Structures are given as C-alpha cells and as structure tokens.
Chains A and B, each alone.
Chain A
Amino acid sequence: MGDDSAARLYQAFVSQDPAAAIAVIEGVRDSSSDKAKLFDSLFAPAMAMLGGAWAAGVIDEDTFTQASVVAEQVNSFVTPPATAHDTGITVLVGSMHRDVHSIDKNVIAAALREAGHRVIDLGVDVRPVDFFERAEETGARMVIVSAQMISTARAVSRIREVFEAQGRDDVIMLVSGGPFAADEGLARDVGANGVVRGAESALRLVERVARERFAGSER
C-alpha cells in the first residue's frame, strides 16, 4: 500500500468522488497481500483525517456530510462480508422421523449457513431414506440429525443402516438433542460419529471433520 493512499481516499471523500474512492480502494486491494485489513489500514485512517479536517474547520459541515455519504457508499468495499465465504462443505440437517422438534435444528442450520457452509435443511420428521437420497443428490458427506425424544434418538441408528446398506460408509453422521447430550453411549450405539452440543459445537465439529476427513476433496 502506498503511504498516501489513505490521504487519496480522504481526498476522494472530500471531493465527493465515489469513482475515485473506489479506484483508490481497488488499487490498494489489488496490490495488498492482506485484503481483510483494508478497513484498518486504509478506511479508518481516511475517516480519521476526515474527522480531523471537520474538527479543524478545514471542511465545513456540508462537505463533512457529503464526504460521509461517499464514505458510506464505498464502505462495502472495505467492510468484511457479513456472510462468510462459501466453504464448499455441504451438510444435511434434519430432525429424525417422527420428531417434530425444530429449534435445535434451525439454530444449528442457521449457524452453519452463516459460517458459509452449504446447508440443506430437510425439515422435521425426516425419514432415513430421505437423508440418504438427498446425500446422494447433493454429494453431501456430512449429516446432522436432531432428535429430542429418547425413542426418536434411538431410531437414528436406522439412518446409519440405510447409508451402510448403500455402501456409503464415508458419510459422517453427527447427532444433536437432549438424549445424546445426556448419554454419549447412545450416540455410539446409533452409529454417530459425534455429538453436537449446540451451534458453536456444530461449527467446530463440522470444521474439524472437514479438515481431517475431507481435506482437499470438497468442491
């Protein structure tokens, strides 16, 4: 980054020239190795200059306002994205057949989606064969099954059976829900590879599985 880029950005703000502001940002972005720090290294110093110029009376109130409008218009170029980049990892999420509890599933699915994973939410009361069919269709190799009742939690073993019967031993099945949190042995019994204990746990587990098991093979 050239030393004067923040000053040039400040000048573009004050000149009310968004095209010039974008050109400065794109120039720095193209030549910078750390694009994620554009806000700190470029935008924030330019804004501090703007605040200083207003405080010192170098620019009047109207110019300050107009310059801020330009800053607002281009801030999407320097602000990190609110939604993470696509990780390419597809995760099927659903509540077990005959289980209509949805909160855990919804919260986990949304967190994974926000983290950039490709989440296919199959909804509640999902039959084991539906997990398999959507995994085949989407190429997903990770499934999170939610079950909140002991009877439906036990029945999760049927999902593993379906996958195994079709030769899909490679599919990682994670389980979530009160019965599994209370008894880790149950998760092993139904053939799960791990227990998800909420959204952050899901994020960590999915990332770990992707890193350790699928490294380099996800699109």
Chain B
Amino acid sequence: MRSRSKHVKLAEGLARQEQIAPAVEACYQALRVGEIDPLVYCLLAELMLSGDFYDEAIFAASRAIELDSGCSPAYLALGLAYDRRGGMWDQSILVWHELAEVAPELVTAHVQLGEAFAATAFEEEAIASWRRALELDPKEARAMYDLAIAALKREGMATALPGFRKAGELDPSQDALFFTLAGASGDGQPTPVLSEVAPERGSRLEAAYVLAHEEDLFSAAELVRLILDEDPDDAETLGLASYLYLKQEAVDEAMACALRALTLSTRTPTAVYCLGAAFAKRPGLSYHAARVFDALAKLVPSKPMPYVLLAESLLGLQRYRSAGESYRAAVNLDPACVRARFGLAAVLHTEGRHSEAEWEISRAAYHDTRRQKLFWVLYDDYAEGRA
C-alpha cells in the first residue's frame, strides 16, 4: 500500500494536461529522487507513446510491469506501443492477453487482442476475442468494425458492409451530425416540460430537438405534431419528424417525411440527412443514398460524417476507389474518426494493400483508446486499488 508522491503527482498533472516535455522531465526527476514506482514508468510510457517514441514507450511500460505485474495501464501502453511500432505482433498478443487476464472486464483488451490475432492471421482466435468483447458490451462498435473487416477478408464487401453500417449506428457521432445540421447541440440544456413550452414554432422546435437528443421521442413527436398542425409545410419540422421515425426504425415513415420536406425545400440539411439514412437501410438504394450523401457533403463540407456515409454508399455500389477518397476526406477532417479509419482499412483490403489496412486499424485503435481516455481510467483505478 502506497500513496503517490508529490513528484509523481506533478508528473501526472502535467501529463493529464498533455504537456509532454515537462511531464517527461517530471517523471525523470521522480526517478532521480528514488521514486522507483510503476506509476512513473506508466506515465513515461504513455508520454513516449504520445510522441511516437515506441521503443522508449516499450522500455518504460516493460519496466512498470517488472515492478508490478498487475499494473494494467502499463499493459495498455505496452500493447499500443507494440501495435504501432509494427512487426511485434507476437509480443502484442501476449501483452493484450495479459491485460485481458489482469482486467477481464476490460472490453478494449479483448478488442485489441483480437486485432493482434488478426494481424498475425489467427482469424478464428481474433473473431473469438471480438465476440468476447461484444458479450461484455454489445455496443462495442470497434469489435463490430473488426468483425466486418474479418467478414470482408472471407466473404467480400457485400457481407462486410451491413456490419459497418450496424457498427456505425452504435457510433454516437452519426446522431450528433443530425443535431449539428439542425443547429441544435442539445447538450447542457435543461429538459423541457411539455406543458411549459411556449406555444409558438421556435420554442416548440427547440424543445423538440432537446427532447429528441435525450431520446424522449414521443414527447418530441407531440411537439412536432403541434407545429405541423399549424403549418403542415414546415420543412425543417418534417426533417425532425423523419429523424424521430428513423430512431424508431420506421424507415418508410421517415422516408415519407423526408421526401415531403425536400419537396417543400431541397435545402433542408436535416431532411437530406434523414433521407440518406433511410436509403442506406435499403441495400438496393445505395445509388440513391450516395447521391443524397454527396449532396450533404457539399452542404456541410467541414463535417467528416457525410463523407463517411457517402463512402459507405459507394462501397455498396462497388466504387471502392471513390469510397477510399471519401474516407480519406473524413480522416483529414477528423483523424480520430474510427469509423472512417476502419472503412479506409476495408478499401485498402479490397486493393490488396493489407499492411496499410492494418496500419489504419492500429491508428483507429490508438485514437479510440485516446477518445475513451482509457489510459487514465486504468491509471486511476490502478492507483486507487494500490492505495
């Protein structure tokens, strides 16, 4: 049982603020004063990884594990370092396997283990790992993307594409796109009470967006109805109605509302999005979906998600090269877009560029763990457990 020294806390604080150089210096200072603590080596490994110094990260993480074989954040850093360094998949498998042993409920450990297996052509073992991850968390999108890639390698794109779309639906960024298009972030606003919403269009629509964001679809629908009762030709409201139906898997109703909205105004971005999303659910409508998402990408060229959606529709049309270009556009806009990275990996596989595909997947893994702040979750759990 030991608590963190002030040197460690200083290094930790700097690392959390992503001040890499001072944080590294603080770690070495801690080591110089005799703080031979796995936490220090953990931090050092994470920092080295951030700077793409893989060998140093491997050394530091290994040292942390030597000091304490239960140091889960060190395994994470070590595994990611091995994966990104490349050519060390055997070691990578062992590390992720260890992490899965040390933290059996850690979904990412199983996902990563699967990816390491896949990179060494142990496809069956890889699939078993991803299935285990999905047992732990049925909404683990990365495991589903990985399974889609596995299906691609065995059975081609027609089997893989539904997997990408299914995984994409679990990805909150697609819904986020709708609210961005609507100009309604939804975040941080108090939940409206229906009876207190002012009886005019603007208030009702704003409240409906907030309710939709919180997935209170029926209350949102009530407000939509009130607006439409006063003006059935309100295109934006029809766009929201379409979204609400989509969320209830009522694709035809969603299509009807979106088409009506676009009849009224072709430049209703929310309706364009909903129409594309409805088309994307029909395998035969890939061409229609691509047309719609292409228009959406032109409407909002700074958002990565329309490019991803366009790319998926292009995959359905067997236009793999164009899909790759669209995915690259998405990755350029947001390097942490896991969905685009996996999509790009799929395209690269169709072009026979398998090592580049693996690289994209390992980049996706890195960004995904960063997005989840997984290192810090494990770090804090480990530090607390030790205390």
* A contact set with B: CB distance below 8 Å: 39-40, 44, 47-52, 54-57, 64-65, 68-69, 71-72, 75, 79-83, 102-104, 106-107, 109-111, 113-115, 176-178, 181, 197-201, 203
7 residue pairs A–B, Cβ–Cβ below 8 Å: A48-B259, A51-B259, A55-B257, A57-B228, A113-B156, A114-B158, A115-B318
> Are the CB atoms of B232 and A103 closer together than 8 Å?
no
**Pair B155/A39 contact, Cβ less than 8 Å:** no
Chain A residues contacting B261 (CB-CB under 8 Å) are 51
Q: Give residues of chain B (238-257) contacting chain A, Cβ–Cβ below 8 Å.
A: 238, 241, 250-253, 255-257
Chain A interface, DSSP helix/strand/loop, else mixed = helix
Q: A57–B352 contact, CB under 8 A?
A: no
Residues of chain A lying within 8 A (CB to CB) of residue B152: 107
A64 to B244 CA separation, bound complex (whole angstroms): 14
Residue of B nearest to A10 (CB): B256
Nearest-Cβ distance from residue A201 to partner chain B, whole angstroms:
8
Instruction: Give 7 A-B pairs besides A48-B256, A198-B351, A200-B318 with Cβ atoms closer than 8 angstroms.
Output: A47-B252, A51-B259, A79-B285, A82-B284, A83-B158, A110-B155, A111-B156
| Chain B residues touching A, range | 35 or more
Most buried by B among A50, A52, A64: A52
In the bound complex, what is the Cα–Cα distance between A48 and B321 (angstroms)?
34
State how many angstroms separate the Cβ of A124 from the closest Cβ of chain B: 12
Question: Known contacts A51-B261, A103-B354, A197-B351; is A110 also within 8 Å of B252 by CB?
Answer: no
List, in ascending order, chain A residues with CB within 8 A of B255's CB.
47, 51
Q: Once the chains bind, are A109 and B156 in contact (CB under 8 Å)?
A: yes
Q: Which residue of A lies closest to B348 (CB)?
A: A198
Which chain A residue shows the least CB distance to B159? A110
User: B350 — which chain A residues lie within 8 A by C-beta?
Assistant: 107, 111, 198-200
Q: Which of A48, A71, A107, A111 contacts B153 (CB 8 A)?
A: A107
> With an 8 A cutoff between CB atoms, is B266 at the interface?
no
Contact A55 B252 (CB under 8 A): no
Q: Is the CB of A110 within 8 A of B284?
A: no
Do A64 and B352 have beta carbons less than 8 Å apart?
no
Report whether A106 and B154 are in contact in the complex, using a CB–CB cutoff of 8 Å. yes
Question: Does chain A have a CB within 8 A of B305?
Answer: no
Complex CA gap A56/B260 in Å reads 11
